[in-house]
Structure 1
Amino acid sequence: MEDQLILAYDYPLLGAFWTVMWIFLWVMWFLLLFRVITDIFRDDSLGGWVKAAWLIFVLIVPFLGVLVYVIARGKRMGTREIRHAQERQAAMDDYIRQTARTGGSADELAKLSELKAKGDITEAEFQQAKEKILR
């Protein structure tokens, strides 16, 4: 028997296409599976036992479970995703506002220290204004 060397040009183009397509489909399948599992845990309208039942159904019979879940609850998956994104955006906006507010007080403290250094305000006035800013 002769050992055959398989080169890249010996692999048919259609075979490469099918391989890439199957890899793509498997990646998409896992993304959908994880999104469904995430949605099961994210849904506040489901009770604990119902979440457990959906999770077991999706994990034991994954193709049928995901298909049934998307058919039964797919329309509300999008609304829950949008609500979750809005909550994350609101939390980020609050964080930015708090950080910006803190930066403003640092600027005010710097101005106060300049006024104190120039002698425009006394030590007692400086301490009183500093406590007012830090509150």
Structure 2
Amino acid sequence: MDSFWDFLWLTISVFFFMAYLMVLFNIIADLFSDHEASGWVKAVWVFFLIFVPALTALIYLIARGGGMARRQRARYDAARAQSDAYIREVASSSPADQISSAKSLLDSGAISQQEYEQLKAKALA
């Protein structure tokens, strides 16, 4: 590096190159996750992404950007639902565990017999 300006230019160039690679990889991931597009359509997009990359990426983002966002949102929602279901499954205790803990509270005198019956009924519901 001869000067500050060379370093600045290199930094800006690397930034834009990395941003372009991120866009390119997102396009390729979206293209292959689109179940509505045929194999030939995907092959044409990939061909043009290889030989005319910047223009093809721009055209893809303009032409298919809305669908790209919907597919990404659907993947996010599916992953979120799966994660929430797993958390609910792991975090919930069985009715036997709930009744056991209510019984220990009753034995220690922390709750009355009536509260114990309510907790027991709630656990069995």
Greater mean alpha carbon deviation, residues 19-28 or residues 68-77:
68-77
Percent of pairs with identical residues: 32
Partners of 2:41 and 2:73 in 1: how far apart?
23
* Amino acid in structure 2 at the alignment position of 1:100: A
Taking the TM superposition and a 5 Å limit, the aligned residue runs for 1:98-109 are 98-101=89-92, 104-105=93-94, 108=97
Displacement of 1:110 after TM fit?
9.3
| SS class of match (2:94) | helix
Q: Does 1:51 align with 2:54?
A: no
Q: What do you get for the CA RMSD once the two structures are aligned?
A: 2.8
What's 1:90 paired with? 81
- How many residue pairs end up in the alignment? 105
What's 2:12 paired with? 21
Partners of 1:109 and 1:78 in 2: how far apart?
43
Partners of 1:65 and 1:88 in 2: how far apart?
30
What's 1:60 paired with? 51
Partners of 2:63 and 2:99 in 1: how far apart?
60
Partners of 1:57 and 1:106 in 2: how far apart?
59
Partners of 1:107 and 1:30 in 2: how far apart?
54
Partners of 1:48 and 1:99 in 2: how far apart?
40
Displacement of 1:109 after TM fit?
8.7
What's 1:127 paired with? none
Moved over 2 A (4+): 109-112
Unaligned runs of 5+ in 2: 105-125
Q: Residues 18-45 of structure 1: CA distance to partner in whole angstroms, max 9, x if unpaired?
A: 1100010110010010000011012222
Partners of 1:110 and 1:90 in 2: how far apart?
29
**Of 34, 41, 45, which aligns to 2:25?**
34
Partners of 2:49 and 2:69 in 1: how far apart?
19
Unaligned runs of 5+ in 1: 1-7, 116-135
Q: Residues 43-74 of structure 1: CA distance to partner in whole angstroms, max 9, x if unpaired?
A: 22212222222222222332222122112112
